[in-house]
């Protein structure tokens, strides 16, 4: 089942506890299962403990506790690295989990501490030594080792969810309180609405709708992703169409998989590397000028492939080259202009910034420039637009209370703008915001930036066809 994003013209060319103070203990034996990327001492040594990052940290802003701050977490990682603290210490495990990985601290750190890489390694350490219940082991194995390693399995699972949502079973389960009894009520509310038709990367090529004279069109390969391909077909359709309007040829390369961000956030670095290698093989074969990704968490992760595979003799260089050619869709559209629509879109819009776009990629002006290109659009900034909404991969499922507080704060700021549309640019943020908006009964739509731009392009096309039919009938 493939989506009706547009009609392609052809197939792609081949294209524990702390040790007594001062008693350095060798806890590293506990890390026998850990990935080789334990936090690098040079990374945590770069922190001068100035505290300038504290106010930007969402967990510190809610808890006001030093261990729940970036500086506190770096101290914990250093203590583990220097053998002062067991990696099984509850304080270390709890803080690795409680951190959103939002990178707000990294974005403001004057010493250039690479917190994201530190936390990635710290989480992998925690995942390797943590005592887990049999149920948690089964769930993690299913999610990380079975489901999200194959887009075919993701589609199979999505079809069963589609059936659950459309058959009335969901309504019944909610009505009878079954989900509450199973302790799954919160997680179930976060399920995105599964699309009727999925986007399958089958090698399709979509030609540009316009090209500059004497200039060959830019060939863009779209990473279709996992959740996006079964629940965000509208975002893919808008991405393909908006790029074609801007003179690009768009290809959906075969053989691509989930980008692996989910695995990396879960501390499953070996699996994240395997998925990165498979995507590099598939995307390289498309011979594209640019790799485009329309989920900010995924575009950030693909740009990190060079770091992820830095020790891989076969892939290190290829990963860095692919990362350098990768663009978030908002970034690419801003690079392209974008071509201004002619039609007016009189919507009041605010913008919720995805952490991995604003902090991870420092892409802040580009989405705003894309929205500013739309005639008639009434853009209004929300307070704390770059503060995490609480989604953060699986954070909203694993840390529901913290996530709910962050979501409530974000929704309050959104409501204060009186916007009818909340724009965002990441799948996880959109799922989180849509769930929050539905729970509060807010009369607001949550759309991707590219969907808003494309709505104006579609109006342009309707205007052209309406004018054409008037001419024909007169």
Q: Please report, as ranges, the residues that interact with ligand SF4 according to CB under 6 A.
A: 47-53, 56-59, 70-71, 73-74, 99-105, 109, 111, 113, 115
Question: Cα(474)–Cα(470) distance, rounded to whole angstroms?
Answer: 6
Task: Quote the DSSP letter at residue 191.
Answer: P
Decide whether 59 or 294 has the Cβ nearer to ligand SF4: 59
Nearest to 272 by CA among 145, 101, 129, 156: 145
Spatial contact of 153 and 147, defined as CB atoms under 8 Å apart = yes
Nearer to ligand SF4, 47 or 235 (CB): 47
**Residue 296 CB, nearest approach to ligand SF4 (Å):** 15
105 neighbors 70 (Cβ within 8 angstroms): yes
Give min distance, CB of 169 to ligand SF4, in A.
36
- Closer by beta carbon to ligand SF4, 247 or else 400: 400
The residue (of 67 and 186) whose beta carbon lies closer to ligand SF4 is: 67
Q: Which residue has the tokens 């590397």?
A: 273
Nearer to ligand SF4, 74 or 230 (CB): 74
Q: How far is the CB of 432 from ligand SF4 (least distance, A)?
A: 15
In the complex, the smallest distance separating the C-beta of residue 386 from ligand SF4, rounded to whole angstroms, is 11
DSSP H stretches of helix in 64-220: 70-81, 90-98, 104-108, 115-129, 134-140, 151-166, 169-176, 178-181, 185-189
What are the backbone angles phi and psi of residue 46, rounded to the nearest 5°? -70, -20
Strand partners, 221: 251, 291
Residue 234 burial class via C-beta count within 10 angstroms: exposed 0-12, middle 13-18, buried 19 and up: middle
DSSP state, 343? S
Give min distance, CB of 60 to ligand SF4, in A.
Answer: 6
CB of 269 to ligand SF4, least distance (A): 18
Helix (H, G, I), strand (E, B) or coil at 330: helix
CB-hemisphere CA count at 13 Å for 363?
Answer: 31
Alpha-helix runs per DSSP H in 130-268: 134-140, 151-166, 169-176, 178-181, 185-189, 227-231, 233-245, 261-265
User: Which residue, 78 or 318, has its beta carbon nearer to ligand SF4?
Assistant: 78
Helices (H), 183-288: 185-189, 227-231, 233-245, 261-265, 269-284
Q: Across the strands, what pairs with 201?
A: none
Please choose, from the candidates 123, 99, 92, 128, the residue with its C-alpha nearest in 3D space to the C-alpha of residue 17. 92
Of 370, 296, 282, residue with least CA distance to 327: 296
**Smallest separation (angstroms) from ligand SF4 to the CB of 119:** 6
Distance of closest approach, residue 100 Cβ to ligand SF4, in angstroms? 4
Q: Determine the Cα–Cα distance for residues 452 and 375; give it in Å rounded to an integer.
A: 12
Q: What is the closest distance, in whole angstroms, from the C-beta atom of residue 388 to ligand SF4 in the complex?
A: 7
With respect to ligand SF4, which residue has the nearer C-beta, 59 or 366? 59
Helix axes 70-81, 115-129, angle to 10 degrees: 60
Beta carbon nearer to ligand SF4, 89 or 251: 89
DSSP H or E run through 351: strand 348-351
* Shortest Cβ 63–ligand SF4 spacing (Å): 10
Contact 432, 396 (CB under 8 A): yes
Instruction: Report in angstroms how near the CB of residue 186 gets to ligand SF4 at its nearest.
Output: 20
For ligand SF4, the closer CB: 97 or 461: 97
* 115 vs 162, beta carbon nearer ligand SF4: 115
The smaller minimum CB distance to ligand SF4, of residues 48 and 169, is found at 48
């Amino acid at each position: 089942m493939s989506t009706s994003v547009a009609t392609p013209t052809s197939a792609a060319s081949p294209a524990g506890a702390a040790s007594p103070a001062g008693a350095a203990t060798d806890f590293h034996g506990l890390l026998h299962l850990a990935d080789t990327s334990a936090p690098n001492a040079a990374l945590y040594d770069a922190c001068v403990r100035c505290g300038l990052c504290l106010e930007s940290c969402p967990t510190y802003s809610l808890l006001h506790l030093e261990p729940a701050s970036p500086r506190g977490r770096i101290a914990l990682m250093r203590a583990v690295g220097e053998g002062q603290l067991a990696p099984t210490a509850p304080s270390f495990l709890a803080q690795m989990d409680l951190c959103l990985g939002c990178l707000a601290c990294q974005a403001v750190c004057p010493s250039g501490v690479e917190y994201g890489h530190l936390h990635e390694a710290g989480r992998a350490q925690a995942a390797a030594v943590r005592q887990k219940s049999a149920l948690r082991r089964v769930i993690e194995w299913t999610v990380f080792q079975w489901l999200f390693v194959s887009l075919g399995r993701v589609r199979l699972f999505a079809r069963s969810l589609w059936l659950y949502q459309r058959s009335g079973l969901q309504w019944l389960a909610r009505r009878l309180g079954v989900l509450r009894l199973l302790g799954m009520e919160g997680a179930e509310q976060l399920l995105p609405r599964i699309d009727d038709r999925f986007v399958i990367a089958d090698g399709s090529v979509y030609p540009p709708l316009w090209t500059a004279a004497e200039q060959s069109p830019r060939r863009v390969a779209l990473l279709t992703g996992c959740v996006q391909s079964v629940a965000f077909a509208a975002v893919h359709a808008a991405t393909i169409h908006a790029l074609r309007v801007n003179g690009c040829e768009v290809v959906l390369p075969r053989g691509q998989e989930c980008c692996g961000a989910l695995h990396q956030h879960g501390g499953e670095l070996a699996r994240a590397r395997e998925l990165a290698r498979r995507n590099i093989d598939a995307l390289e074969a498309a011979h594209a000028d640019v790799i485009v990704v329309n989920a900010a968490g995924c575009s950030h992760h693909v740009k990190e492939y060079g770091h992820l595979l830095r020790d891989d003799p076969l892939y290190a260089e290829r990963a860095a080259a692919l990362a350098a050619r990768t663009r978030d869709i908002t970034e690419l559209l801003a690079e392209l202009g974008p071509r201004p629509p002619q039609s007016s879109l009189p919507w009041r819009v605010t913008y919720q910034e995805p952490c991995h776009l604003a902090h991870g990629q420092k892409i802040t002006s580009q989405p705003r420039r894309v929205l500013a290109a739309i005639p008639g659009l009434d853009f209004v900034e929300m307070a704390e637009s770059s503060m995490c909404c609480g989604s953060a991969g699986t954070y909203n499922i694993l840390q529901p209370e913290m996530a709910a507080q962050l979501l409530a704060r974000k929704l309050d700021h959104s409501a204060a703008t009186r916007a009818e549309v909340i724009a965002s640019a990441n799948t996880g943020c959109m799922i989180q915001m849509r769930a929050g908006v539905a729970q509060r009964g807010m009369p607001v739509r949550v759309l991707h930036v590219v969907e808003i731009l494309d709505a104006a392009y579609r109006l342009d096309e309707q205007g052209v066809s309406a004018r054409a039919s008037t001419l024909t009938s007169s």
